[in-house]
Amino acid sequence: MKFILRLVSVLGLLLCGLCVVSVAFAQDAAPVVAPPAGTDFITQFIVGFASTHPWLVTVASIMGAFRLLFKPIMGAIEAYVKSTPTTADDAFFETVEHSGTYKALAWCLDWFGSVKIGPQFTAKPEGPTVIVPPAGPAAV
């Protein structure tokens, strides 16, 4: 089991490294392509910006690919683990989620690729919610 965890973490780090290298060797600015006449300002701005800064389009594409790849895979793994009747895979999934390698990989994906994997913590309301009826002629 530890071998699989290490293999997945090494492959994830290798994928991140390949993406960093591809961004580093992104193409120089391509010839400016003018948008068709009669298009709105936003379209002209986007086409002009993308043609003068192709490295930014590469970064956005890589971030989108990370989100498209990692979010469904992690969601499917978590759903499969929770749907099985045995608890052995639940315990293994918990140990993987709490390992330092997984936390480092999740942090790197979140920081560099804007991909939120793992448990998402949300703030819970403090205390009970009290609904106060509006005062008016019907309340009297």
Give the pair of three-digit tokens for residue 27: 């193409």
Say what angle helices 100-113 and 2-24 make with each other, to 10 degrees: 20
Give the pair of three-digit tokens for residue 41: 């300002």
| 22 Cβ neighbours under 8 A, 6+ residues apart | 58, 62
Please report, in tens digits, the pLDDT of each residue of the chain (140 residues total): 566 666 666 666 676 666 666 666 655 555 556 666 666 778 888 888 888 888 888 888 888 888 888 888 888 888 888 888 888 888 888 888 888 888 888 888 888 777 887 665 555 656 666 677 777 665 55
| Alpha carbons 11 and 95: distance in angstroms, whole number | 19
Give the pair of three-digit tokens for residue 107: 């942090």
| Alpha carbons 56 and 40: distance in angstroms, whole number | 22
This prediction's pTM:
0.50
CA atoms within 13 A on the CB side of 100: 0
